[in-house]
Structure 1
Amino acid sequence: MKQEIMDAGCSSFAWETKDHSHLWGRNFDYNTIAQGSGILYVPKGKEFYLQGCSFTHTEKGKATTEHALVGMGSLSMGSTPLIYDGINDAGLSGGELNYRTFAKYEETAKEGTRGVQPMFLLFTALAHCATVDEVMHYLKEEVTIINEKIFGTLAELHWIFSDAKGDTLIVESDATGLNFYKNHSGVLTNSPDYAWHEKNLLNYVTLTPQDTDEVPFTGNPYTACFSGTGMRGVPGDWSSISRFVRLSLLKQHALPGENEEQGVQRMFRCFEEVAFPLGLVRLCGNENNIDEKYIDTSADDNTLDYDYSVYTCITCAESKRYYWTTYDNQMIQYVDLNQLLDYDDYLFFELDQKQPMLEIKPNTAQKITNHQ
């Protein structure tokens, strides 16, 4: 594979149902998912490291999980679990998203803190914190995100968290320093920075879900001959900027559901509106030769020439459930963290990529007779 940097997409937002179930979720948009990835349970009391891994023999900053958690990830680093998104036993959820070219980290840990590598930050926060306020304190007072590569790669990331009180937090470390956005929109995509995305929403404040009916034009009334004009003008491509706008409008206007079950189903529908269809976002490689522009991934069976929505996940702070679907399996599956807490070792659930089609048999139909 010619590509050397991670240029994933990803979209995320937090939602609340009418019965005050607090949901958080994300699309994972990339051209692959790391081998060994799946649903990973990490129990309370497990030792790990804030830097390095057992393969490089440079582990630094030993710590112990104070909360059990479950989410999408792997144990490929050996000494420290990798978690891309998840929920812990206090109802704190979170995810890491790509922040390409904008992410900047400290060269060394600030006095009185310990250094943590960007790719380990999400796991570390979920393992130690119960609320977004605790996450803020942890990142301000106890750890410093440091500019340290692992296997020659520096993860360019920013993060979003949501807790059982409904508070949300976005964390960005860039050229302006370490920035926190608490209880803003609760929406996050990718670069540029969150403050830019928030200001860009001013371009769309006049959009309304109201469908067009009869409109006077040049002195004559015109009656709409089609529906779907509500929100007309919403950007429809898959850039980070467009996805942020669409998700913000969906969060503002889409009906969230009466309870957790309905809310989760409707939230998955919302994520479909910003999902990458396979074949529409082709990756670039050598920009100097148009004939070799696209990445050659023929040697990697799990990597494609296109970014697509590999999986979508949703968590609920009250039930502690982690729900997910994949690109090839739209059946909603979930694990319940409460049912895992008695286990004192790691548990791993395969990421099922196949969905059987369900045939409806004739004998299940209702017979209709004497129909006029």
Structure 2
Amino acid sequence: MKSAFHALSRQQTEARHKAKPRHQFKALCAAMALVFAAAVPVQTATACTGVTLVADDGAVIFARTEEWGTFDLNSRITIVPRGYQINTDLPDGKKGMSWKTKYGLVGVDALNKDLFIDGMNEKGLTANLFYHEGFAEYAKYDPAKADSSVPILALAPYLLTNFANTDEVRAALEKIQVVGVHVDAIGGVPPVHIFLTDPRGKAIVVEFTKGVTTVHEAPLGVVTNGPNYDWHMNNLLNYVNLDEPLPHRQAKDIKAIKFGAGARLYGLPGDLTSPSRFLRAAAYASTARKTADGDETLYEAFRVLDNFNLTVGTAAEGGGEVNQKGMRSSTIWTTAYDTKNLVMHYHTMHNRRVREVDFNNLDFNAKEVVRLPLDKEKSQDIEQLFPPKNG
């Protein structure tokens, strides 16, 4: 076990060394700040979990829960077309990077603002923000590099609207500076890391540690919150006995871990902390049933993530409740993206019915951003059954 731990650490160390927006599209960094300014405290309100499943036909599905136990994010589906102008603002008021979108994007925003917690572009690249409090530390802002600086809160849409896969993302990250935006309400910058998946099944986690942007491989396709991603991967080696005792397990075998079921999962942590959820996500994803195609795999992804739904009280303990009026769950919505067939499915805390956004039905040549409510009505549509009448 010790040798495997050090081998994995060595592998990961080597890998590490390898104008204002028009219309209503507000500066993303300023809009995102409103989310965190409204939540005091937020550290007990975020417990998101993400998993990746692959169908027999090669369709890669990434799905995640969005936990926010302090108040309703009032999220919407937002569709951004190609050729749309996006500008960013930096901490000193200077303009950061600006660009016209190369690819269309569908995502979920927050607080009725054009910011994205997750999304997928028309090439099947997904990007998802996960809270990373206590570990995220961005590069110090250098005014001399303003034109190549991207606020952390605008990074996900920048990547989704410009690049087609994780390799292109890696190359782009080497040419930009990712900087934080101070928010007085939380005494600092919103701490996040970003999980990206593409149709080839390649997944990476972009983290910011001591001012350095670090890209981690994510071979299992699962993600939660802190600590840093390499810690989570190392921690998996403490639980290989859930598969079967193999004293000579090698780090390269991490992809092949099959956690088993039933009694063989004895000892799997069941609490709500990020490390425990990471372990469960890896176990449940690796034991998910085989599925033929993207449509069936989308359903399986929801079944897996059902294990991570949280009540309002459990995710906002210790004074995190700010304004829970109207909230039915801390898991306020769950999304699943089919990166091959370009379909998004989701359900919400108000309505467990699965809804679909098919990219093939969208016009990414439109001139305006389109926004749709997650819930037309904040209620569950329940089908009533009646017995047949005699005669």
TM-score relative to the length of structure 1 = 0.81
Partner residue of 2:379? Answer: 354
Give the letter for the 1:349 counterpart.
L
Q: Distance in 2 between matches of 1:179 and 1:364?
A: 66
For residue 278 of structure 1, report the CA deviation from its aligned partner: 3.4
Q: Establish whether residue 243 from structure 1 lines up as the match of residue 265 from structure 2.
A: no
Q: Distance in 2 between matches of 1:295 and 1:165?
A: 39
The change in CA–CA distance for 1:38 and 1:171 in structure 2 (over 3 A counts) is same
Cα-to-partner distance string for 1:92-144 (whole Å, 9 max, x where unaligned): 01200000011000112585961111111111110111000111111111x21
For residue 30 of structure 1, report the CA deviation from its aligned partner: 1.0
Report percent identity of matched pairs.
23
Contact residue 206 and residue 214 of structure 2 kept, 8 A: yes
Q: Establish whether residue 267 from structure 1 lines up as the match of residue 292 from structure 2.
A: no
Secondary structure at the aligned position of 2:164 is classed as coil
Partner residue of 1:67? Answer: 103
Contact residue 32 and residue 303 of structure 1 kept, 8 A: no
Q: Establish whether residue 14 from structure 1 lines up as the match of residue 14 from structure 2.
A: no
Match of 2:362 among 340, 360, 364: 340
* Range with greater deviation from structure 2 (192-201 or 27-36): 27-36
Give the letter for the 1:350 counterpart.
P
Q: Establish whether residue 3 from structure 1 lines up as the match of residue 40 from structure 2.
A: yes
Partner residue of 1:301? Answer: 325
Secondary structure at the aligned position of 1:70 is classed as strand
* Range with greater deviation from structure 2 (118-127 or 34-43): 34-43
Q: Distance in 1 between matches of 2:88 and 2:320?
A: 33
Secondary structure at the aligned position of 1:362 is classed as coil
Matching of residues 1-372 of structure 1 within 5 Å: 3-5=40-42, 7-32=45-70, 36-51=74-89, 59-74=95-110, 76=112, 81-109=114-142, 114-141=148-175, 143-149=176-182, 154-175=189-210, 177-208=212-243, 228-284=262-318, 294-295=319-320, 297=322, 301=325, 308-341=330-363, 342-352=365-375, 353-363=378-388
Q: Distance in 1 between matches of 2:310 and 2:389?
A: 36
Cα-to-partner distance string for 1:269-327 (whole Å, 9 max, x where unaligned): 1011122133333422xxxxxxxxx34535x63579xx721111000112211111112
Contact residue 41 and residue 347 of structure 1 kept, 8 A: yes
Q: Give unmatched runs, 5+ long, in structure 2.
A: 1-37, 245-260
The change in CA–CA distance for 1:149 and 1:3 in structure 2 (over 3 A counts) is same
- Give the number of aligned pairs: 331
Q: CA RMSD in A?
A: 2.8
The change in CA–CA distance for 1:188 and 1:113 in structure 2 (over 3 A counts) is farther
Secondary structure at the aligned position of 1:39 is classed as strand
TM-score relative to the length of structure 2 = 0.77
Give the letter for the 2:199 counterpart.
A
Contact residue 56 and residue 293 of structure 2 kept, 8 A: yes
Cα-to-partner distance string for 1:223-265 (whole Å, 9 max, x where unaligned): xxxx942412211111101100001112222224111111111
Task: Name the structure with the higher helix share.
Answer: 2
* Range with greater deviation from structure 2 (268-277 or 112-121): 112-121
* Range with greater deviation from structure 2 (59-68 or 322-331): 59-68
The change in CA–CA distance for 1:197 and 1:295 in structure 2 (over 3 A counts) is closer
Task: Name the structure with the higher strand share.
Answer: 1
Cα-to-partner distance string for 1:22-58 (whole Å, 9 max, x where unaligned): 11111101115665521100001111123359xx986
Q: Which has the larger radius of gyration?
A: 1
* Range with greater deviation from structure 2 (270-279 or 329-338): 270-279
The change in CA–CA distance for 1:363 and 1:336 in structure 2 (over 3 A counts) is same
Contact residue 297 and residue 303 of structure 1 kept, 8 A: no
Contact residue 95 and residue 160 of structure 1 kept, 8 A: yes
* Range with greater deviation from structure 2 (59-68 or 95-104): 59-68
Q: Distance in 2 between matches of 1:34 and 1:45?
A: 32
Q: Give unmatched runs, 5+ long, in structure 1.
A: 210-226, 285-293, 368-372
